[in-house]
Chain A
Amino acid sequence: MRTKKFVFEMLVLLVIVSMALASCAPAATEAPAVTEAPAVTEPPATEPPAATEPPATEAPADPMAALYEAAKAEGMLSTIALPHDWCNYGGVIDAFKAKYPGIEVNELNPDAGSGDEIEAIKANMDNKGPQAPDVVDVGFSFGEPNKDLFMPYKVSTWDSIPDGMKSADGYWYGDYYGVMAFLVNTDVQPDVPQDWPDLLDPKYKGQVAQSGDPRTSNQAIQAVQAAALAFGGSLADAAPGLQFFADLNAAGNLIPLIANNGLVAKGEIPVRLTWDYNGLAAIDSFAGNPQAVVVIPKTGQFAGVYVQAISAYAPHPNAAKLWMEFLYSDEGQLLWMEGYCHPARETDMRARGVVPEELSAKLPDVSQAVFPSAEQLVSAKELITTQWDSVVGADIKAAE
């Protein structure tokens, strides 16, 4: 009796172990992105638009129509990590659905971070189901290192995207940017800080918080990098930023809570470090309760750029391309502006006078914005994530 049970269990164990080992192996040997590259050569008539068509509004009708038909045949677009209140993605998605009926927009994991999005592409390489994202919107530093996972594609308005914001061969392209700012609940803290050093003042004791964990969140890491500009650092040297946060923490001004709008509204976190567009959208949602302002620090408008890319394993490549065309059309770019983000083609659009006056007025002045390069972002990320614990001192509370 005992031995039978034992044998049974061993058999089960053997089956389990072999299945597990096998299920691991394929993932490693899976054909990498290279084989997907053929997509580059195929763009179905979206490459030479302006040449043949009379330039009507933003995009010529015919090639777009062909793309639309192809996308409609696919029937679905899977997006990931697009919260509706972020840069007015809610408005963007609704407009896309209205303009191109017949394509279902399947929104995956709206609370994912850039890393999660890359993971999602990797995890779904063999998977053509609705779990696999077609398009991603990730932090700038995630573009180049992951280009093997992307399918290159140049939208019809490619040329009006600034060079510094896109990959030359079309793997990824900047979509919008904002600058690091302070969102201040003026009901609780009427004394609004104007710059980074102001935050060290004792009157902000226990009032300042990041929007994410600096060891994993893009937004939080770039806040540290932005602070460096005010303390003798530069885009290439983020160490002073780290030191600033250490000082902020030692002074008791920095709270470890991850700030969100609820906590700002409650007054628990009167000063939230976040992108200006998030702050401005928050003020809209507060609708006067509480009163709040967004302040861009005097010493340095640090721009954070996000980039779009199409997954090399996208189950619906044509829908993905149509989406990109939409986003980079004047219409799409303006919708982002309504979310307080500065779209990539802003300079071009302003030059052509397509930006409405009221919309233009709503956006903060970021003419002095500095744009870190990808290498600077990556090296800062290295520094900040590895040293945050030791420099800023997460150990303080653990000792309690």
Chain B
Amino acid sequence: MTQITPSASKMPTPRSNLKNWIGVIPFFLFALLFIFLPSLRLFVGGFTNADGQFTFENVIELFTQKYILDSYLLSIRISAVTALGGGIFGFLLAYSVTVGGLPKPLRSALVTFSGVASNFAGVPLAFAFVATLGRTGFVTAVLKDVFGYNIYDAGFNLYSFLGLSLTYMYFQFPLMVLIMAPALDGLKREWREAAENLGANSMQYWLRIALPVLLPSILGAMILLFGNAFGAYATAYALTGGRLPIITIQIGAQVRGDVLHNPNLGNAMAMGMVFIMAITLAGYSWLQGKSERWLR
């Protein structure tokens, strides 16, 4: 319900600003202990060499080693692709059960399913896709036997960039649905009615009113999807065995290393990831600010 809250109804200005911050101390303490300290450990580690001294060499390696730069690029590519694809189709799915008018139970089913599916990742997800689209997969077999079409002969390969992207979508679509469904709820019916009153058709309504309002939310959600894919590790490892050298796998190799084992380089790589993500998050924050106007 839109409410015009006159400023008079605001709570009286608190006595001292500092006192108010006490209320959020528990939260900040938690963040300090469990987020900042560990992250700082990584930050400091990125600037340490094997003997424990301060050094820039790890960071320099980030820029000079081709395989590291390639890994970042690959990660960015796959995150961008799945964010875009996931964003578009996820939006369409969310649309279909909200504004799109499908029966309410379907919405419940989709939203609850999305809750579970958005966390379905790693070995079980990889196996599920192998069982579906692998050489001996269910769908591969059906296409071959029933339609006579062998996708592997046609060049498709699950163990590739395309295959990994398809697999990532399993948690990208649901995440988009979870974020967009409430946002789509924010599209007030009055706007549609008003537009129709003024003679707009569906296309015009969407292009001129709905999409512009939703765009910040959509873009913001896509950025979250980007981050989600960017940080993914277990699924890629399980599906491609480290063959697709995305940056998280490189970090894993350095940090867990049986062999390569330079955890400080791994820390530096992680810092690079954090930097990239920080930029995208800044974009997200900015977009959030814009969307608040309409959805509050």
A394 interface hit (Cβ, 8 Å): yes
Task: Tell me if B17 and A268 are in contact (CB < 8 A).
Answer: no
**1/0 per residue B67-79: CB within 8 Å of A?**
1001000100000
Contacts between chains A and B (CB distance < 8 A), count: 118
**1/0 per residue B51-75: CB within 8 Å of A?**
1100000000000000100100010
Q: Which residues of A lie under 8 Å from residue B37 when comparing CB positions?
A: 16, 19-20, 23
Task: Tell me if A16 and B161 are in contact (CB < 8 A).
Answer: no
**Pick the contact of A215 from B36, B131, B137, B260 — CB < 8 Å?**
B260
Q: A138: nearest residue on chain B (CB-CB)?
A: B258
A202 interface hit (Cβ, 8 Å): no
In the bound complex, CA of A221 to CA of B159 (Å): 21
B44 interface hit (Cβ, 8 Å): yes
Task: Tell me if B243 and A266 are in contact (CB < 8 A).
Answer: no
Number of chain A residues whose Cβ lies closer than 8 Å to a Cβ of chain B:
46
B162 interface hit (Cβ, 8 Å): yes
Task: Tell me if B70 and A4 are in contact (CB < 8 A).
Answer: no
**1/0 per residue A110-138: CB within 8 Å of B?**
00011110010000000000000000000
**Pick the contact of B242 from A1, A17, A215, A255 — CB < 8 Å?**
A215
Of the stretches A227-235, A256-264, A301-309, the one at the interface is A256-264
Task: Tell me if B135 and A16 are in contact (CB < 8 A).
Answer: no
Number of chain B residues whose Cβ lies closer than 8 Å to a Cβ of chain A:
46
- State the Cβ distance, B270 to closest chain A Cβ, in Å: 15
Q: B161: nearest residue on chain A (CB-CB)?
A: A400
Task: Tell me if A23 and B245 are in contact (CB < 8 A).
Answer: no
Q: Which residues of B lie under 8 Å from residue A217 when comparing CB positions?
A: 258
- State the Cβ distance, B70 to closest chain A Cβ, in Å: 7
Task: Tell me if A398 and B135 are in contact (CB < 8 A).
Answer: no
B244 interface hit (Cβ, 8 Å): yes
B261 interface hit (Cβ, 8 Å): yes
**Which residues, 209 to 255 on B, are CB-close (under 8 Å) to A?**
237-245, 253
B186 interface hit (Cβ, 8 Å): no
Task: Tell me if B70 and A17 are in contact (CB < 8 A).
Answer: no
Q: A139: nearest residue on chain B (CB-CB)?
A: B258
**Pick the contact of B256 from A24, A28, A216 — CB < 8 Å?**
A216
Task: Tell me if A24 and B241 are in contact (CB < 8 A).
Answer: no
A115 touching B131 in the complex, CB below 8 Å, given contacts A20-B40, A188-B136, A267-B136: no
24 CB contacts below 8 A, A to B, read A4-B18, A12-B28, A16-B32, A17-B40, A20-B41, A23-B37, A27-B52, A115-B258, A115-B261, A188-B136, A209-B241, A210-B241, A213-B237, A216-B257, A221-B259, A266-B130, A266-B134, A268-B130, A268-B135, A389-B67, A394-B243, A397-B161, A398-B161, A400-B162
Q: Which residues of B contact A (CB under 8 A)?
A: 17-18, 21, 28, 32, 36-37, 40-41, 43-45, 48, 51-52, 67, 70, 74, 127, 130-131, 134-137, 152, 159-162, 237-245, 253, 256-261
